Structure 1
């Protein structure tokens, strides 16, 4: 990596551990106002008694880790904090800023897998991440090229589909392509729940890759029992049948 990596700053504004599961996506933020200094933002997010933080603050040539990504920073609300890694980016989004953030994402994907990118606005009612939002796919592609991966991120492991549907209805996931990008592999299942709530009718079962879901289940990414049923939703029976067949030979 070509940036300076700082670990001497520690925010007290976080919760220990990831009880909902390992990081499943990366949330891109900007710190709002042009002209602010990197370390002033670090100091603010590390303030005692604060109600916000992030895992990283990043700008051209420097990345500061203030919350361990295996813990929950306070950056994206009830749907983003449990399994999101938050990166606070310089709002000017210069070429240097863009490159450094892409390098950080590449390093995170080496550790946590090919995590997709979402914007803060996909989880809360905000304009954040400003200039970064329309460039998320470009940012993801650059990060993957830096680590030698593919240009399209893998879908995020499923969250609580009912909670995601509630957030969609509340307008927190936008519309159209923005919603599809934010929800990733969960889009069809969540949209079916939304449709059923709003119209009383459910569209046909989503067209998803059941074999890939079965592989994720066996890898432990969908939990067990009721948690697995809730996460897989309408796909549960079909996926579980594939899992059972594989494990029994």
Structure 2
């Protein structure tokens, strides 16, 4: 992810999140929580802007309302927060080192925390799903290797993803993939589309022509093409959650 300089650029959306901050049951992990469904939960695993990123909290609110789920957006960066104005401030972007940040928040460091939260949610809800953006997507695939942890996984423009993580998935999977993505490369896209259909799980690959890495969480809502894309991504995830969290 050292080349993912564009991961720290994008746009802040308008709106005020309506959820609350608390901790996930039986864990010390702080989380933004929205929704009231006690049976169906979605674990939203954030990108490098973390659990306080307003765009992701707004997405969580949409998922909670439109898919009738309770959404948990935990802090998986140990309290470290990147100010959202970094997206639009060249000076702050220049000061922020993506490789150093990822070094502090490696897979080995953070997956045990993610695993603990997933187990907690699964113990307290009848069905759970996970959705990840950029940094968070690899974790969804790792959770999806064990149906005892989640019932379905979705992700948008994944980063840090490995072929072994893709080939290990054992639950329904949805990928929201822009045309131009330097992290989810054409080779990884081809691998996912070749291998997942052989694994015996429902698979949905949603393609977004003309859009780029980060569009689903940081797209420009004032640009019609990008707005249409981010709304389609949101609607696709909502439909996915409805199908796999509310079916008998």
Q: TM-score, normalised by structure 2?
A: 0.35
Q: Which has the higher contact order (CA 8 A, sep 6+)?
A: 2
TM-score (norm 1): 0.34
Higher strand share: 2
